[in-house]
Structure 1
Amino acid sequence: MIDIKDMFACGVHYGHRSCFSNPKMAEYVFAEKNGMQIIDITQSAEMFTEALTYVDQIVRSGGRVVIVSTKQSAQALVQKHGEEMGMPFVDQRWLGGTLTNFKTVRSSVARLEQLEERFQSGRLEGLTKKERLILQRERAKLTVNLGGIKDLDSLPEALFVIDVAQERIAVNEANKLGIPVIGIVDTNCSPNGINYVVPGNDDAMSAIQYYLECLSSVVKAAADDFRKEREKIEAKNKPVIKKKQEAKKVVAEKSEQEEPESSSAKKVVKKVVKKAAEAQVVSEEPKKKVVKKVVKAKAEGAEAPKKAVKKPAAKKPAAKKPAAKESAKKSTEE
């Protein structure tokens, strides 16, 4: 995928002046011409291929790579390709603590999302003109600084940095957290702290565009493969879900069939309870009439009718046993 002719055409091989060169990049310099250093482009092609292979592995596993370049010549390109790839990017300013103080950054992102939702829904009633302007400025400032990493919910798997000297704060934070760094390193920069060094020009717009186009093609292909694999996995899991749904339907149908029987039994029980209640009401009616008569007699001054008291039945005398008397007489005669 990496073509040396394209790299030559884009000016990837142009380095800085010899007076600004970094000794640590001497092994990647092919020659010096008119006080300018020429980068060994064969090494650049090999190392860039290795870096893109690593990016491909990350994206295929569902990871994310943050593109970082705040150079004025690269801001528009970073934003364009970052949005096309669907990857987070930083093109305006790297806020100190973006990685090491990630929770605080996420709170600022939440504030930005809240403001965007408020403006989109038009919930600005009751605010004065000055208050609206203050909210608009706050929203614009947060969008500039955090708009590219708005969808970054967790720490990224790698950083792709153009001009590592200018983005040294981002490189240091990634090194502290153990996040791999892929860096475009010019001859005036130091390769220290860069896990995947790509020697090349980091100032020309043509070279920056070439790097981002290669990265974009790799990321898009890997993301498509990852999406297809995920769809296949979901398709395999769908039959199990369908079987569960069918089982639920069968259970629901059985319960519907059993419902009429249970409802008929409930109706029979209700009828029995109703009859028992009616019988109890009928038995209580005479008692209510007696109570009413007593109350009426008291109101008229007469004595309340006394209830007839049943006398206990007289006990019958126990019959004497004649056999006992005869046995006594026999004993006296003898």
Structure 2
Amino acid sequence: MDQESTDTQTAGVETSHLESADAASQSETSEADVAKTSATSTKASTTLSPARKRKAQIPARDPVRVNLKTLMESGIHFGHQTERWCPKMMPYIYGARNNVHVINLDYTMELWEKARKAIVEIAQRGGTCLFVGTKKQTRSVIETAALECDSYYVTSRWLGGALTNFETIKKSIDRMEKLESLLEKANMEVPEIRLNKKERLMIQRDLEKLEANLGGIRDMKKVPDLLFVVDIGKESIAIAEARSLHIPVVGLVDTNVDPKFINYPIPANDDSVKGVKLFASAVADAVNEGHRAYASRYNRPSQSDGNNGPSRVVSDVKEVPRSKKGGDADEDRRSRANAG
């Protein structure tokens, strides 16, 4: 059976059972009203998304420190091979070693501080942040950092129009939530909802795909106020959408990319898992700092969903700094350069 026929069959199963679920819901309105408080608390404990369940398992940690020592330890200073460089990155390159460019960490720390201040400023005005990083080796790092600061994330695949066509994305999120409700009612053996083994399997597979692509933004009620991006070359579509909506972008820029499309570029090795974790955690700390200031100012709890805070905040686009002149690879080239 081809993919098109499978999707059609799944859609038919969804439609018929969702209609039954709606009818059952309407017939049970009075009973639901009687036990409203109890039902609400029960639902909250049983319908947590996989991401929110994982958040409860994330251990507390101390704020990270971005300094010369931590940057060196994480291998942030190793760029790409010299023949793969982008001349626009020359101001941030210290030199070359074994045909691998070395990033000037003085600029990394300087530009990170500018980015950090912008993140705190946006968060303390009630703004939200979206973490974007779809590299396999950094997916868990990005997800963890986003959950630590009650932010949103995309780690599987960037869906075209996720920002510029957000209303359509919201419809997909609504469909995912309806499918989850359908399965939940089937598991509770609601008389009007009966699913055979094949129907359950089809809906479960559909849910897994939707969760992978939309799980990190399912609670996002509006477009974010800031993007944090790892590997701006790979995430070029996300950056283009953010630019079209005048959403500021903080991004790690390696020696093979043009930093001019980023509002707050941070010269760094975007292939280093330790380096990505360092900056993702630092961004999470900055967001939390801003949220605490926002909560203190308005005497309210820190935000945990897209409903809190004012309408979208947009910072002024700042030109990439140009200072003194200086000059998809895997970890092997980093190791060879370090060994040399």
- Calculate the TM-score normalised by the size of structure 2: 0.66
Shift of 1:231: 2.2
Instruction: Look up the match of 2:77.
Output: 13
Instruction: Look up the match of 2:288.
Output: 220
Candidates 230, 234, 249, aligned match of 1:166 = 234
Structure 2 counterparts to residues 80-119 of structure 1, below 5 A: 80-119=144-183
**Cα shift readout 1:94-144 (whole Å, capped 9, x = no counterpart):** 011101111100000111122223333436632222111111111111000
Shift of 1:79: 1.2
On the 8 A contact 1:16/1:186 being kept in 2, the answer is yes
Q: What are structure 1's unaligned runs of at least 5 residues?
A: 234-334
Instruction: Look up the match of 2:272.
Output: 204
Bigger radius of gyration: 1
Distance 1:232 1:216, change over 3 A: closer
Instruction: Look up the match of 1:131.
Output: 199
The number of residue pairs the alignment matches comes to: 233
Distance 1:229 1:76, change over 3 A: same
Instruction: Look up the match of 1:245.
Output: none
Instruction: Look up the match of 1:178.
Output: 246
Whole-angstrom CA distance in 2 between matches of 1:104 and 1:232: 32
Whole-angstrom CA distance in 2 between matches of 1:227 and 1:175: 29
Runs of 4+ in structure 1 over 6 Å off: none
Distance 1:228 1:118, change over 3 A: farther
On the 8 A contact 2:183/2:200 being kept in 1, the answer is no
Shift of 1:221: 2.2
Instruction: Look up the match of 2:123.
Output: 59
Instruction: Look up the match of 2:322.
Output: none
**Cα shift readout 1:236-283 (whole Å, capped 9, x = no counterpart):** xxxxxxxxxxxxxxxxxxxxxxxxxxxxxxxxxxxxxxxxxxxxxxxx
Instruction: Look up the match of 1:307.
Output: none
Shift of 1:232: 6.3
On the 8 A contact 2:135/2:155 being kept in 1, the answer is yes
On the 8 A contact 1:2/1:49 being kept in 2, the answer is no
Instruction: Look up the match of 1:276.
Output: none
- For the aligned residue pairs, the C-alpha RMSD in angstroms reads 1.6
Identity of aligned residues (%): 34
Q: Residue 195 in 1 paired to residue 263 in 2?
A: yes
Instruction: Look up the match of 1:147.
Output: 215
Q: Identify the structure with bigger relative contact order (alpha carbons < 8 Å, sequence gap 6+).
A: 2
Secondary structure of 1:147's counterpart equals: helix
On the 8 A contact 2:124/2:291 being kept in 1, the answer is yes
Distance 1:123 1:105, change over 3 A: farther
**Cα shift readout 1:68-115 (whole Å, capped 9, x = no counterpart):** 000111101111111121100001100111011111000001111222
Secondary structure of 1:110's counterpart equals: helix
Q: What are structure 2's unaligned runs of at least 5 residues?
A: 1-64, 302-340
Instruction: Look up the match of 2:57.
Output: none
Whole-angstrom CA distance in 2 between matches of 1:167 and 1:115: 29
Whole-angstrom CA distance in 2 between matches of 1:187 and 1:88: 27
Larger % of helix: which? 1
Instruction: Look up the match of 2:140.
Output: 76
Letter in structure 2 aligned against 1:102: F
Whole-angstrom CA distance in 2 between matches of 1:195 and 1:166: 17
Q: Residue 26 in 1 paired to residue 90 in 2?
A: yes
